[in-house]
Structure 1
Amino acid sequence: MDSNSPASPFPPIAQYAFLSDCHTGALVAPDGSVDWLCAPRFDSQSVFGSLLDRGAGYFRFAPYGINVPTSRAYDPGTNVLVTTWHTPSGWVEVRDALTMAKREGPDETTPHTRPPADDDAEHLLVRTATCLEGSVRIELVCDPAFDYGRTREPWVLDAGGHTADISGAGLSMRLHSDLALGVEGDALRGRHELAAGETVFCALSWGASLDGPTDAADAVARIAATRDFWRRWLSRALMPDHRLRPYVERSALVIKGLTYMPTGATVAALTTSLPETPGGERNWDYRYTWMRDSTFTLQALHYLRLDWEADEFMQFVADVEPDEDGALQIMYGIDGRRDLTETTRDELSGYQGARPVRLGNGAFDQKQNDVFGAVLDSILLHTRRSERLPARLWPIVKSQAECATAIWQQPDQGIWEARGKPQHYVSSKIMCWVAMDRAAQLAGIRGEPDLQAAWGATAQEIKDDILAHGLSDRGVLRQHYDTDALDASNLLAAHFGLLPGTDERLHASVLAIADELSEDGFVLRYRTDETDDGMSGKEGTFVICSFWLVSALMVVGEKQRALDLMERLLRIASPFGLYAEEFEVAAARHLGNIPQAFSHLALIEASARIILAERLEEMSL
């Protein structure tokens, strides 16, 4: 945006707070408006879509006429938002939560394919306001626009004036409140002057029964129960007593919050079409599960001893249907569906004018050769942790190893899902090596010596090919076999152990990315003027790549550089400790979908490497 341009009506991406009930999530703007909510699932149509078009629906519960709060923060150890407002006449505290409660029977709204846990979503957004001092006029405006803003329907107010129903695009919702409600145009409204000590509430339900709180005390209790759920869950994780602990805890809460509890799948991000290039076309739908995330997800969950969640995710991977050749797709829907056909909603303005707004993801049927390594590394991690190789996973091991053997010499679209010409991407070769190396280890665990030997030989053949064709004349890993351009995905060579940390080729490759593929220290995926990715426009630095660089620097013995970069990355977190996909250094702003699971997974891994190194140093004193 030009410095002389008028202020954008869209809040900065980093100013949004994230709520979750492990079935769907919401984003709350600084002015108290829910600008993004898809119901009943992460990948459902949006009900409030002001994030992508200011006319696509919102839900505000905040002081009347006041848009800037005094403070906004999570209740510690939770995904419950607490916002404090100072008005000319008093102080008020608003609490927001997608509520959780003890499970009572099957979930008819979003049925489970995994064994249900003791706690589950209520399919309720509950909001309370308590006047702390003086008096405050509180305002409720609930203005849903179903199907990404396409469908507006009338509210039907009950006789008592405290509940109202609305249905659109196949979804029914009910708003409960102790405020007197009225309908103005398409919006449901309420207004009340709160006295000191008084609490009021509103709650939006989309569950099968449309039940909600009966009064303010009930609403307060539901939010408290949700707070307790998140703290109980976090207490199960093994958190290090270390200066990085708060960042690891928040990242763990994000990853859990992006997990679809009914199947165990994890969405890559809550949102769709938040731009990687301001005002540009690099806008993607991330509300799906990428197989490449699997190994990073498993690594983070097992590191934190969150073994139940790790097993749930692994079972989801075991359930998905492969392609005809036996290969897993690069991504699936959170219910395991394979068809993620991409469409656009050209009537929506897009965030700050970034168009098109995309639904679905056209990369779902791309051939990306890295997927086999991600899946097999995940299975090996899980097998080591659980001390057994489940029988239902062995066929997946065989099919992915066979696929990797058949295709590793073929070009593909690469880890970044480039929409240009297929190439022999080095990172794809690295991940094919990972596939065969892990498959050989799994065959050894399974007691299959012939397969172990055969797959191990293929792994060595791939590694030899990479070292013969994937290094530039100066001994640095290149993006693909026909270029000397750099690519941050080659940091995975350090992550997965293609070469030992003492190898000069790995050391040179890591330092080349640190010195030549960075902007003010933050790492780019690649330089867009050197890469045919099929898109126009520049993009920001990638948060995950910067965290990968921290880990890689630790691997090659550049500890101080790793620590310095880690500190810089921690400083750019949003006020809520969240990370989007990218960070634009010049404007110091977050870009892309938020919160981004990959970014938080990479933070956990980088933290783990730093913590482990420091603990080992302490032991050697």
Structure 2
Amino acid sequence: MEYGAAAGTRRVPGGLQGAEDVRYPPVAEHGLIGDLRSAALVDTRGTIDWYCCPRFDAPSVFASILDADRGGSFELTADTPARTKQFYFPDTNVLITRFFAEDGVGEIQDFMPVVDDSREAGRHRLIRRVVCVRGSLPFRARVAPRFEYGARPHTVRAGHGQAVFETPGLTLALTASAPLEVAGPDVWSLFKLHEGESAVFALDRIGGDVAPRFCPLSEAEQQFNATVGYWRRWLSRSRYRGRWREMVHRSALTLKLLTYAPTGAIIAAPTTSLPERIGGERNWDYRYVWIRDAAFCVYALLRLGFTEEAEAFMGFLSEHVRLEIPADDGAAGTSRGTGPLQIMYGIDGRRELPERELSHLEGYRGSAPVRVGNGAVGQLQLDIYGALIDALYLYDKWGRPISSAHWESIGEVVDWVCDHWDQPDQGIWESRGAGEKHLYSRLMCWVAVERAMRLAQHRGLPVDIVRWGRARDAIYRRIMDHGWSTERNAFVQYEGGHVLDASLLMMPLAKFVSPTDPKWLATLDALGEDLVSDSLVYRYDPQVSPDGLSGDEGTFSICSFWYVEALTRAGRLDEARLAFEKMLTYANHLGLYAEEIGRTGEQTGNFPQAFTHLALISAAFNLDRALG
């Protein structure tokens, strides 16, 4: 039978009912699992409410986090009142959700086996192993896929411990050791386990050369051990031995989960349209490769000793990110194009990421619109060139020497930056308003030229040192002369303005200004007064610096970690350590961070966010080193 894609929840024994607020757990009440190709969010109730298959940017199969009625989910929970706790199996990305009930204790072990490039990689197996560890416990499961973001009808057929959900573009097979029952478009299971007993549910993508295959208890045990072994072997390569090892390693494991193994791409986050403010319109799709984010990821991973990941990303750049120098329109310093690089790419390197709204989905807690694709792809953001070339510089220093082909590409980019750094752009925060001459963009253009010059000198590479040096010095003078506001006694967001911006915290981090320079210390104090609240940092005030969107937002977690690092470099170690320890209290129960933190400490925005975790790694590394 075929069922409509928008079918809602159904009333069955023990099932969920209605459309109450509790249908949407807090963003922070989730853990992440994945196989380096796709990922799923599991909430503390045991429900998978976000899963895209077969890759991060594919249409969702489960998306009840964006619409509890139409999105689809995979519920698996104790069928009796129970308290729950969630943790990661130590040093892995295997997620454990525990249920504490009057008559027993049970747990769900959620994981996705990580396999090589064989046909098994196309299976994208998602295993949910249920174990009763004390007493006895009843469980219920409801598997309710809603394909293509809840817009594509599917057929379901079941028999002999298996159910197959099928659409023209995707077929999923559910196998289970517990009894299955078809109920409309969904599959249900009610079962009871006694101490020492277990049950297994496995969801596979099938089709082509991937045939249906059951997952017996013994195979689930073997794949559990293999997955634990994989993550522990990977993490053992870390060189970090500092004070905050647990948080740093959880951040590293999260960054690895956000890596797309076939190309080496690193996505910004595995979700789309989780709102920056409940009920607001600041809802974006982050399942792509931002040159800025990915370059910072390379920096963080190199710091920890994960050179293979850095090398894989360099491979992504070489193969998929093609330089396209736009034609000048004849006026000096202007260009008809946006630059030789886009700010973001698809995980396969594609350049077209058209943005559209999914009006049939209500959004997380009614926060519409839900968007897929990202219209910022065509923006001019000049800071990406500094982030990219700084990453290449660090890769050459700590990883492997860059190739002659890489140097040719760097030369083309830097030549372009020398000609075009003095343009208005949309800035690091991707404003949807009018372009400005952002200080941070100037700063990172300076970084692009300065790091390239340093690399050329270190390696003895050919370069027009006079031309590059002239551009580097011109950018420096422009920032010092026009980026400083005597009225604010601080550096400001853009030329001619008086607005502060947390991206200025990168000035000493990028080695543009001494961390104890009087002008910088005055700016640090001004940022602390205007944008810092209990160690949390707002990126700017949208009420005085319009960004083309309505509403306000929470504090930006990456900026809070930048603040820690800026305090560290300024020698204010007691303040830095306190701010860092406070930031750690805002992590969720698993050590994960969304993009922002709201006024009452709730996590908002896409989750978990790579940018935040890489900033945590950098702050921890530098603070730990300064404390000695």
Query: TM-score with structure 2 length normalisation?
Result: 0.92
Q: Distance in 1 between matches of 2:168 and 2:424?
A: 42
* CA deviation vs aligned residue, 1:49-105 (integer Å, no higher than 9, x gap): 001000210001222244x5432111011111112212333221211101224x373
Q: Which residue of 1 aligns with 2:374?
A: 361
Query: Is it true that 1:80 corresponds to 2:94 in the alignment?
Result: yes
- 1:526-565 counterparts in 2 under 5 A? 526-565=540-579
Report the equivalent of 1:217: 218
2:572 is aligned with 1:573? no
Question: What residue in structure 1 maps to residue 275 of structure 2?
Answer: 275
Structure 1 SS opposite 2:181: strand
Aligned to 1:195: 194
Moved more, 162-171 or 371-380: 162-171
Q: Is 1:20–2:34 an aligned residue pair?
A: yes
The question of whether the paired residues in 2 share the 8 Å contact of 1:550 and 1:565 is answered with yes
2:322 corresponding residue in structure 1: 321
Give the distance between the partners of 1:192 and 1:106, measured in 2 at CA: 33
Write out per-residue CA displacement over residues 460-506 of structure 1, whole angstroms, 9 at most, x where no aligned residue.
11001100000010541100012111000111111101111221111
Query: Could you tell which deviates more after superposition, 83-92 or 519-528?
Result: 83-92
| Structure 2 match to 1:234 | 235
How far 1:567 sits from its partner (Å)?
0.8
Q: Percent identity?
A: 39
Deviates most, 6-15 or 34-43:
6-15
Equivalent residue number for residue 606 of structure 1: 619
Range that drifts further, 379-388 or 569-578: 379-388
- Once the two structures are TM-superposed, the CA of residue 163 in structure 1 deviates from its matched residue by 1.0
Equivalent residue, structure 1, for 2:306: 306
Is 1:386 the equivalent of 2:385? no
Asked whether the equivalents of residues 440 and 504 of structure 2 are also in contact (C-alpha less than 8 Å), the reply is yes
Given that 2:275 and 2:364 are in contact with CA atoms closer than 8 Å, whether structure 1 keeps it comes out as yes
Aligned length: 593
- Secondary structure, in 3 states, of the residue corresponding to 1:100? coil
1:195: Cα distance to partner? 2.0
CA RMSD of aligned residues (A): 1.7
Separation (CA, whole Å) in 2 of partners of 1:235 and 1:285: 33
The answer for the alignment partner of 2:329 in structure 1 is none
Equivalent in the alignment of 2:13 = none
1:164 alignment counterpart: 163
Deviation at 1:450, TM superposition (A): 4.6
1:7-57 Cα shifts (integer Å, max 9, x gaps): 442000000111111111100112111000000100000000001000210
Distance 2:21 2:258 in 1: 31
Contact 1:58 1:142 in 2 (8 A): yes
Quickly say closer, same or farther: Cα 1:85–1:6, change in 2 above 3 A: closer
Report if the CA contact (8 A) 1:153-1:168 is conserved: yes
Contact 1:491 / 1:552 at 8 angstroms: preserved in 2?
yes
Structure 1 pair 169–607 and aligned structure 2 pair: CA distance change class (3 A): farther
Distance 1:83 1:522 in 2: 30
The equivalent residue for 1:113 is none
Say which is worse superposed, 262-271 or 449-458, in terms of deviation.
Answer: 449-458
Residue 295 of structure 2 is matched in structure 1 by 295
1:230 is matched by which residue type in structure 2? W
Are the counterparts in 1 of residues 270 and 287 from structure 2 also a CA contact under 8 Å?
Answer: yes
The 8 Å contact of residues 45 and 84 in structure 2, kept in 1 or not, is answered as no
Name the SS of the counterpart of 2:76 in structure 1: strand
CA distance 1:456–1:295, change in 2 (3 Å): farther
Aligned residue for 2:74? 59
Segments of 5+ residues of structure 2 without an aligned counterpart are 1-18, 327-338
One-letter amino acid of the counterpart of residue 29, structure 1: D
* Structure 1 match to 2:126: 125
Residue in structure 2 matched with residue 477 of structure 1 by the alignment? 491
- 1:213 deviation in Å? 4.5
Runs of 4+ in 1 over 3 A off after TM superposition: 5-8, 103-109, 210-214
Letter of the 2:200 partner, please give it: F
User: Is the 8 Å Cα contact of residues 265 and 316 (structure 2) preserved in structure 1?
Assistant: yes
The whole-number CA distance in structure 2 between the counterparts of 1:294 and 1:275 is: 22
Is the 1:471–1:478 Cα contact (8 Å) retained in structure 2? yes
Task: Classify the secondary structure of the residue corresponding to 2:268.
Answer: coil
How far off is 1:324 after superposition?
A: 4.5
Distance in 2 separating the partners of 1:72 and 1:450: 55
Q: Distance in 1 between matches of 2:457 and 2:404?
A: 15
Q: Which residue of structure 2 aligns with residue 112 of structure 1?
A: none
Q: Which residue of 2 aligns with 1:618?
A: none
Equivalent residue in structure 1 for 2:364, among 334, 337, 351: 351
In the alignment, which residue of structure 2 is the partner of 1:334?
347
SS at 2:564's partner residue?
helix
